[in-house]
Amino acid sequence: MALAAIPAIISLAVGILLLVSMWVIFAKAGQPGWAILIPIYNAIVFFRVIGKPWWWLILCILPIINIIWVIWSYNLLSKSFGKGEGFTIGIILLPVIFIPVLAFGSKYAGPAGKKS
């Protein structure tokens, strides 16, 4: 019985780590960290962090297109913290490692999606 609880405990720990990491990312970007707790609103705030309009949320819901838009959004998140495309690949493949690195080891450089 106790052995069956181990995956649940690990999943809970990973979920809390990612939640806290996104909270810190939002706070570094000057957005409310608690926004990560509210569905849909957290996506709108995420798009503010990367410098894109709220209606990108619609594009992230559409089948096939969503794959491209989510990858592009992660790339803009990486660039907003001064990272490159390699870091974007890391976020896609190992988010449990790369999202906390972004949150606790990088400085927010401003929204990458804004035109200067």
Residue 115 placed within a domain: no
Cβ–Cβ under 8 Å, residues 115 and 33: no
Q: Residue 100: what pLDDT? A: 97
Q: Which residue has the higher pLDDT, 116 or 51?
A: 51
Cβ–Cβ under 8 Å, residues 78 and 87: yes
Q: Residue 38: what pLDDT? A: 96
Residue 65 placed within a domain: yes
C-alpha distances out from residue 104 to 7, 98, 116, Å: 26, 10, 27
Residue 54 placed within a domain: yes
Residue 56 placed within a domain: yes
Residue 82 placed within a domain: yes
Q: In this structure, what token pair is assigned to residue 91?
A: 């976020």
- Domain tally for the chain? 1
Q: Residue 1: what pLDDT? A: 65
Residue 112 placed within a domain: no
Mean pLDDT value across residues 65-93: 94
Domain span at residue 75 reads 2-105
Q: Residue 95: what pLDDT? A: 95
- pTM: predicted TM-score of the whole model, two decimal places: 0.89
Residue 113 placed within a domain: no
From CA 5, how far away is CA 10, in angstroms rounded?
Answer: 9
Residue 114 placed within a domain: no
